[in-house]
A and B are shown apart, each in its own frame.
Chain A
Amino acid sequence: MTGFLLRRVLLAVPTLLGVTVVVFATVALVPGDPLTAFLGPGAPPEARQELSERLGLERPLPVRYLGWLAHALHGDLGVSISAQRPVQELLGSALGQTLLLTGAAFLLVLTGGVLLGALGAVRPDRLPGKVCGALSTLAVSAPQYSVALLLIAVFAVRLRWLPAGGTHDVFGSGGPADLLRHLVLPAVAAALVPLGLTAKVFRAALAAVLAGELADSLRARGLSRAAVLRHCVHNASPALLTIGGLQLAYLLEGVVFVETLFAWPGIGRLLFDALSARDLPLVQGGVLLVAVAFVGINLLVDAAHAAVDPRVRG
């Protein structure tokens, strides 16, 4: 187990380095004058001079990359053009909101995905099974921004059941209940694609177990249908782990759209605003943070998978 983990961590190092190269390149290769790109037009000459020295624009690219990497490793991601504050500060204050939203969405993904997948696997050829299959395809195909807009139109504007955006009512008492009301729609919008994906994978895994020897022997021992199903669900659940990283990828990329449309003050909304303002340091920092988090999550998923299923340690 230790050997597997060590190998896996070592494999992640070149990937992470590659990620930093790509992120660095997105700003280093941006066409036109990088100083204007960073400071915006009309910056005073002193500021241009200072930034030019700070970025070391006269030095060759590899040297600049190493300097940037050293700063990034120390948690220094530069200064946002639009907010005139350190990028890491902005990202740090938005991170909690994104974690809250993705956490809530992840709960929906797991419960909804397992339910939909299990229902589809039990009676694949009957109507309920087919409906579940079609629903999974629909969920997988539903772009987060489409779902977000439809949810707002129906549940916030027409029915007025839930708020259309933000995290708290302006004139409300606040508190957890208020936050929860604001969390429902964005969490559903972010969850739908990974939920459908989970349902599909779990359905395939459970169907395989239900058709296998384990299910046969349980049935032969006279267990009830429900008991057989319970054992088989347990046996099929490691399949959920194998796609865990993928689900989180969809959650993470979905937040750019979902947070923007629901005015949810997280990383995704920050990234959207940074893109609109062409605030390159902030875009760079946001992309780097999400990509590094994603590599880390995949590592954790692999470790968890190895912990429950010795076969993958190989």
Chain B
Amino acid sequence: MKPTLRQDPVLLLSLGAALLLLLVTLAAPLAAPYDPAAGSLDARLLDPGAADHLLGTDGQGRDLLSRLIWAARASLVGGLVPVLLATVLGTLLGITAGLGGRITEQALLRSLDVLYAFPGVLLAIAVATLLRPGLGATVLALSVVLTPAVARVGFTEVRRIRTAEYLEAARVSGAGAFELAVRQVLPVVAPVVLVYASSLVGLAVVYAAGLSFLGLGVAPPTAEWGAMLDELRPALLTHPWVAVQPAVVILLVSVLFNTLGERLRRRLGDSGAQLPAVAR
């Protein structure tokens, strides 16, 4: 027996927190107390708890709380959009590999294996160096990293059902390959892939901020959590509680999305035992 939503307080709590995060992000102009780009020479590197600045200020005297709130926009886009793209592309590739015959299957699976041979951050670095630093580079690089994992989940699911009788029946009654894929296979594969993809969001947010930290993603002065990590690094030895703030925010958001993904997976009855590598 699966617990009802009410019996899973952790899921409820994390859903609420995710909703709150989304609201604050969308309402950044209202939620942020200061202009995130406006600094003040008199108020540089204030520690958290300062009179007018709850979380303190950075090296240019900009309000940290406001910057962290505004930064959520670029950071969450950098985490969520690649997961969406990878979900669509991965499903497509997985179904193609599963239904396309032996040669297509092997060609696709072997190519995905190559991308799989890279540790995620390394592959993202390799792709992002080709592009001009920015949100676009982050999105593209992370899509390349995440797509093989989604495709594998999709393929595994297609392989499980491709000899099923109802598919055979559809084939015999004259359904074309496209019709078969869209009307018979996709409805089975999509829920599994979606649940799996939800568990990738936390990882993608962490990677996106990491790319900006490495100077390959969103660049200053745009507020973004990873770029802020790099900006605040010089203050680490003198103002440690200022410098760690973006790190703490990324950690909390990652825990939030991972808990959410894990609970969703448990509710929808996937043990998660056979899920491929990029996911945790």
Contact B254 A141 (CB under 8 A): yes
Contact A143 B117 (CB under 8 A): no
- Cβ of B115 within 8 Å of any chain A Cβ, yes or no, is yes
Contact B258 A137 (CB under 8 A): yes
A15-B117, A145-B213, A250-B119 are known contacts. Are A137 and B259 too (CB-CB below 8 A)? yes
| In the bound complex, CA of A169 to CA of B76 (Å) | 40
Q: How far is the CB of B245 from chain A (nearest CB, A)?
A: 9
- Cβ of B210 within 8 Å of any chain A Cβ, yes or no, is yes
Contact A149 B114 (CB under 8 A): no
- Give the residues from 41 to 96 in chain A that come closer than 8 angstroms, CB to CB, to chain B: none
Contact B251 A146 (CB under 8 A): yes
- Cβ of B30 within 8 Å of any chain A Cβ, yes or no, is no
Q: CB-CB < 8 A to A197: which residues of B?
A: 280
Q: CB-CB < 8 A to A193: which residues of B?
A: 280
- Give the residues from 46 to 85 in chain B that come closer than 8 angstroms, CB to CB, to chain A: none
Q: CB-CB < 8 A to A249: which residues of B?
A: 119-120, 277
| In the bound complex, CA of A112 to CA of B251 (Å) | 20
- Cβ of A138 within 8 Å of any chain B Cβ, yes or no, is yes
Scoring A143, A256, A261, A272 by chain B CB atoms within 10 A of each residue's CB, the highest score goes to: A143
Q: How far is the CB of B21 from chain A (nearest CB, A)?
A: 15
Q: How far is the CB of B94 from chain A (nearest CB, A)?
A: 19
Choose, from A120-128, A179-187, A286-294, the stretch at the interface. A286-294
Choose, from A26-34, A218-226, A229-237, A300-308, the stretch at the interface. A26-34
Contact A31 B120 (CB under 8 A): no
Q: How far is the CB of A222 from chain B (nearest CB, A)?
A: 32
| In the bound complex, CA of A137 to CA of B280 (Å) | 9
Size class of the contact patch on chain B = 35 or more
A143-B251, A146-B251, A275-B216 are known contacts. Are A164 and B117 too (CB-CB below 8 A)? no
- Cβ of B140 within 8 Å of any chain A Cβ, yes or no, is no
Bitwise interface map of B from 206 to 227 toward A, beta carbon under 8 Å scored 1, else 0: 1001100111100000000000
- Give the residues from 113 to 146 in chain B that come closer than 8 angstroms, CB to CB, to chain A: 113-115, 117-123, 125-127, 129-130, 132
- Cβ of A280 within 8 Å of any chain B Cβ, yes or no, is yes
- Cβ of A271 within 8 Å of any chain B Cβ, yes or no, is yes
Residue of B nearest to A19 (CB): B117
Residues of A in contact, count (CB < 8 Å): 54
- Cβ of A246 within 8 Å of any chain B Cβ, yes or no, is yes
Contact B119 A257 (CB under 8 A): no
Q: How far is the CB of B167 from chain A (nearest CB, A)?
A: 27
- Cβ of B16 within 8 Å of any chain A Cβ, yes or no, is no
**B interface residues (Cβ-Cβ under 8 A, vs A):** 110-111, 113-115, 117-123, 125-127, 129-130, 132, 202, 206, 209-210, 213-216, 229, 233, 236-237, 240-241, 243-244, 247-248, 250-251, 254-255, 258-259, 262, 273, 277, 280
**A interface residues (Cβ-Cβ under 8 A, vs B):** 14-16, 18-19, 21-23, 26, 29-31, 137-138, 140-143, 145-147, 149-150, 152-154, 157-158, 164, 193, 196-197, 204, 246, 249-250, 252-253, 256-257, 261, 271-272, 275-276, 278, 280, 283, 287, 290-291, 294-295, 298
Can you list 21 contacts pairing A with B, beta carbon distance less than 8 Å?
A15-B113, A15-B117, A19-B118, A21-B114, A22-B115, A30-B129, A141-B202, A141-B254, A143-B247, A143-B254, A146-B244, A149-B244, A164-B236, A204-B273, A249-B119, A275-B216, A278-B129, A290-B119, A291-B117, A291-B122, A294-B119
> Beyond A19-B118, A249-B119, A249-B120: 14 further Cβ-contacts under 8 Å?
A15-B113, A21-B114, A143-B206, A143-B251, A150-B248, A152-B236, A153-B244, A157-B236, A197-B280, A275-B215, A275-B216, A290-B119, A290-B122, A291-B117
